[in-house]
Structure 1
Amino acid sequence: MEKHFDAIIIGAGQAGPALAARLSTAGQRVAIVERHLVGGTCVNTGCMPTKTMVASAYAAHLARRGAEYGVVTGPISIDMGRVHARTSRVSSDAQGRDEEWLRGLENCTLIFGHARFEGGRSVRVGDDLLTAAKIFINVGGRAFIPDMPGVADVPLLTNSSILKLSTVPAHLVVIGGSYVGLEFAQAFHRFGAEVTVVEKGERLVGREDERVSAELQRIFADEGIAIRTHAECIRFAPHGDKIEVGLTCAHGAPAIIASHVLMAVGRIPNTGDLGLEAAGIEIDERGYIRVNDRLETTAPGVWALGDCNGRGAFTHTSYNDFEIVAENLLDGADRKVTDRIACYALYTDPPLGRVGISADKARSSGRSVKVGRRPMSRVGRAVEKDETAGFMEIVVDAETDRILGGTILGTSGDEAIHCILDMMANDATADRLRQTVHIHPTVSELLPTIAGSLE
């Protein structure tokens, strides 16, 4: 059956539902198609469940440290079943609210099924052919499973399936020493698992400055998490009811016996089965949909938002994609994806907050830069909490005094980083930050001091 709408949205992640609400409120008839669960990665297998799990792990860690604060506790044990139940409840409650909200929107039809293009203006879902003048793709991504030797011969966990564990692994081996892998590695170690992080590169989170990598490795080592870098040839084989993980490293044993293996080496977009070629929508060599600064694809009247366009892999960038498209279409704006300032966080403990460009990247670009830095051990709030690992850093253009970026690896770094972000968004100088009075005692109060001691 053919059904006509003003707009079709494929995927109900972070950008899709918000766009559906905005378009339907404007009087447009909207169909939003979802093949699995409303809410996308963030609600179902990403931010909400993983940060809920990380919070449980932090509680366990703090409980074990109780005596350091003068709080005497008994033996600490982990009920992984309750951890899993809490994580599932937070996720499912959010998913349910989002679905109920979508179903209640006027002029909006929520359709469950697999959408596939049959032309530049038509999408088939089951027996129905949906047509519209405007189509928006918001299909997200999934864990990438590389073609490593033996990868098909053993059971592997991903960021989705590891959330379903109701028992603590005896020995969790994490393949990939970057953002997703590190969060799970620390959490499960705090739950009581032996954990080894295996990284093919020479250091953890290779996209960050070496100072960040070194400090994270020190923090993990202090907690008892094993780190194996320079793992050039990673391979797998069954070992009874366990998994043998083979490595080629300069140091350490050539193989590890794991009870569980988490594959966390990156993500790929969910674009392979959408029939994009039928609409003339181009993808790049990694499968990401090519878009311009206004998030328009190579097909007229089709936009791509969120993880699938390769212009940001975060909930906040996906939501910003919605804002860009909606304001350009409905408000006559001229917003561009290149106008936003890059920002993100790594939710280890302590967390890493990042905005703009790092010191290393600023220098490699040929800029003349000034850098201000303080260890967290000199931040009163961190000392009071006895959480002094990490450092704070601000990068400034030496000629204009404009702030280029900032790094806060330390307690509350994911929140305090917004002070730098907001200054950058308002094109403020480092001297303006230096003159700003911040509240004591907070982590943020050191930022004006750092801005006043640039080198």
Structure 2
Amino acid sequence: MTDPHRRPLPARRPWRKGGVLHADLCVIGAGSGGLSVAAGAAQMGAAVVLIEKHRMGGDCLNTGCVPSKALLAAAHAAEAVRRSARFGITAPPPEVEFGRVQAHVHGVIAAIAPHDSVERFEGLGVTVILAPGRFTGPAEVEAGGERIRARRFVIATGSSPALPPVPGLADVPFLTNEAVFDLTALPAHLVVLGAGPIGVEMAQAFRRLGASVSLIDIGTILPRDEPEAVAIIRSRLVAEGVSLHERATVAGVSRAAAGVAVSLGDGRVIEGTHLLVATGRRPRLEGLGLEAAGIAATARGITVDRALRTTNRRVYAIGDSAGGPQFTHIAAYHAGLVLRSALLGLPVRADYRALPWVTYTDPELAHVGLTEAEARRAGYPVSVLLEPLSGNDRARTEGEAEGLAKIVLGRRGRVLGATIVAPHAGELIGLWGLAIQRNLRIGAIAALLAPYPTLGELSKRAAGNHFAPLVFGPWMRRLVGLTQRLLP
């Protein structure tokens, strides 16, 4: 705990020599990962330069995690009003004032922004340069007319929307996550291309806010997740009125009287007022001068080793720019590894065995570790536990009993992966991540003393079912019969 009476240590600041700004660490990109590195390094005593060409906070604050979850919260509130009758509460249909919804979204951004601001970081002792940065050599970066030399560099430039090669897309107006939160009026009919987490979340949110929504994907929705879990989300989307088009090729996009027309490969045409493209993301590496620094990269991202070092040993890459899993929490995890390596010289190794992700639909879908299919492909002797949410008393009391927990086990009950579909599944999945990180067996979860009634009992009950055949089987019945005869 921080002592409020203790004076903060004076910051160590970059120094100027021969017209060049010198630092221990230079960070390019002030998104989630870059900010974590810069703040941590400065507070650990390093002289830090932070370069950002656009907005402090990056995508997560301005166009990603924060605004999307704020919009989802508004959509959830509208749906709660619609479904209140199941509790005996009579309410008229909600009136959605979309301008006020967007005001809520931007109000949340504004409330969080000071934590990511230039003022805060300069207060920590970081020298912030708001300009594009590019390498001019293996150990030098130019930004805003400044030459910066540092002992170590960190590239944390994130990613931008990847646009699919759809004929006609360049000739029609369309939205990405970078523009959808700036809408001033609710779309009458939103057509969403891409049914990954972003596409599915936005489809449900806008439908709940009153828009007609068509969701299109060349494959199935949420292809990385367990099929049993995806089936529940699919059912909910359809029940709420989302027009779902899976395994549908897009032949082209064109302007239409309503706004935009999407032609499918089977001849169908879907017309909407707005088009949202949510078909993935690509690393943002343009203009960095990677070649001048001897940094190798591909279309997937910068080439790094398990310690996140690039082919230039002075330079690290983290988060989306490193070409790995594209999650804000991964960028923060990478930041911690880089701080230990770059500042303390400690050996580090990125480990994704317990990588969690959450799709923030209602109900939420959370996953960590291996799916059943991945575990089987890896050659593990797999066993699976399935526990329906309908057996959870807390879920029943809240009228939210549609969901499940699926646990994937390896040899001797070792936890390999877990998926939960439930309200607040993202809050429940952490227990299973810890189990994977610590190489725990299922018995550790089964022995958990969980409060009643909570959604957390879902995990304990799923784990307990692993032992049900033994505890309630014929062998145990014989043992109990014997002990009862022998006990005084």
For this structure pair, what is the TM-score category when the shorter chain's length is used for normalisation? Answer: over 0.9
| Cα displacement (A) at 1:340 | 5.3
Which residues of structure 1 form unaligned runs of 5+?
none
In structure 2, the partner of 1:225 is 242
Q: Does 1:428 align with 2:437?
A: no
CA–CA distance in 2 between the matches of 1:375 and 1:61? 23
Aligned match of 1:272? 286
Deviation at 1:391, TM superposition (A): 1.3
Alignment correspondent of 2:78: 60
Q: Which of 346, 356, 368 is the matching residue for 1:355?
A: 368
Which of residues 327, 336, 351 is equivalent to 1:323?
Answer: 336
- CA displacement at 1:341 relative to structure 2: 1.5
Determine which of 99, 104, 107 is the counterpart of 2:123.
Answer: 104
Q: Does 1:187 align with 2:200?
A: no
SS in 2 for 1:33: strand
CA contact under 8 A between 1:44 and 1:92: conserved in structure 2? no
> In the TM superposition, what is the alpha-carbon distance from 1:195 to its structure 2 partner?
0.4
Residue matched to 1:452: 464
State the Cα deviation string for residues 144-170 of structure 1 (Å, max 9, x = none): 112210001100100121111121111
Q: CA deviation at 1:230?
A: 1.7
Matched, 1:285 2:302: no
| Contact preservation (8 Å) 1:117, 1:275 | yes
Pair 339,266 (structure 1): closer, same or farther in 2 beyond 3 Å: closer
Paired amino acid for 2:354:
I
Q: Aligned to 1:354, what secondary structure does the other structure show?
A: strand
Q: 1:311-336 deviations in whole A, cap 9, x for unaligned? A: 22111111111111112233453221
Normalised to the residue count of structure 1, the TM-score between the two structures is 0.95
1:241 is displaced (CA, Å) by: 4.9
User: Of residues 315, 322, 329 in structure 2, which corresponds to 1:309?
Assistant: 322
Is contact 1:37-1:95 (8 Å) kept? no
Determine the C-alpha separation between the residues in 1 that align with 2:450 and 2:434: 14
1:257 equivalent among 257, 271, 277: 271
Which residue among 367, 374, 399 is the counterpart of 1:386? 399
Identity of aligned residues (%): 34
Q: Which has the larger radius of gyration?
A: 2
* Contact 2:51/2:129 (<8 A) preserved: yes
Query: Which letter maps to 1:260?
Result: H
Give the letter for the 1:93 counterpart. A
In structure 2, the residue matched to 1:367 is 380
Task: Work out whether 1:120 is the aligned partner of 2:138.
Answer: yes
* Number of aligned positions between the proteins: 448
Pair 1:29-2:59 in alignment: no
Q: Check conservation: 1:388, 1:411, Cα contact below 8 A.
A: no
Distance 2:352 2:405 in 1: 25
Work out whether 1:205 is the aligned partner of 2:222: yes
Q: In 1, are the aligned partners of 2:258 and 2:272 still within 8 Å (CA)?
A: no
Which residue of 235, 241, 248 maps to 2:265? 248
Superposition pairs of residues 152-167 of structure 1, within 5 angstroms: 152-167=170-185
**Aligned residue identity for 1:227:** L
- Partners of 1:285 and 1:305 lie apart in 2 by 16
Distance 1:75 1:215, change over 3 A: closer
Q: Structure 1 residue 98: deviation in Å?
A: 1.4
Give the structure-2-normalised TM-score.
0.89
- How many Å apart are 1:443 and its aligned residue? 1.3
Poorly superposed stretches of 4+, deviation over 6 Å: none
The CA deviation at 1:277 is 0.8
Question: Which residue identity lines up with residue 82 of structure 1 in the other structure?
Answer: R
Q: 3-state SS of the aligned residue for 1:453?
A: helix
Post-superposition offset of 1:93: 2.5
Inter-partner Cα distance in structure 2 for 1:168 and 1:24 = 43
Partners of 1:97 and 1:136 lie apart in 2 by 21
Distance 1:213 1:427 in 2: 27
Q: Mean Cα displacement is larger for which, 388-397 or 88-97?
A: 88-97
Structure 2 residues not aligned, in runs of 5+? 1-18, 470-488
* Mapped pair 1:178 → 2:160: no
Tell me the alpha carbon deviations over residues 53-111 of structure 1, each in whole angstroms, 9 at most, x when there is no partner: 000000000011122112222331101101101101111221233113212112x2011
8 Å Cα contact 2:405-2:419 kept in structure 1:
yes
Mapped contact 1:34–1:112 kept (Cα < 8 A) = yes
Residue identity matched to 2:252: R
SS of 2:406's partner is strand
Deviation at 1:283, TM superposition (A): 0.7
Kindly state the Cα deviation for residue 46 of structure 1 after the two structures are TM-superposed. 0.9
The answer to whether the Cα contact below 8 Å between 2:176 and 2:278 also exists between their aligned partners in 1 is yes
Aligned residue in 1 for 2:232: 215
Q: Deviations over 1:272-300 (max 9, x none)?
A: 221111101111233x0111111100012
Following TM superposition, by how much is the alpha carbon of 1:410 offset from its aligned partner in structure 2, in angstroms?
1.4
Query: What is the CA-CA distance between 1:2 and the residue it aligns to?
Result: 3.0
- After superposition, the C-alpha distances for 1:28-66 in whole angstroms (9 at most, x for unaligned) are 321100011111111111111110100000000001112
**CA deviation profile, 1:165-204 (whole Å, cap 9, x unmatched):** 1211111010001110000000000000000100111x21
Superimposed CA distance per residue, residues 329-350 of structure 1 (whole angstroms, 9 cap, x where no aligned partner): 3345322112652111000000
Residue 150 (structure 2) pairs with residue 132 (structure 1):
yes
Contact 2:33 2:156 in 1 (8 A): yes
Question: Which residue in the other structure is 2:414 paired with?
Answer: 402
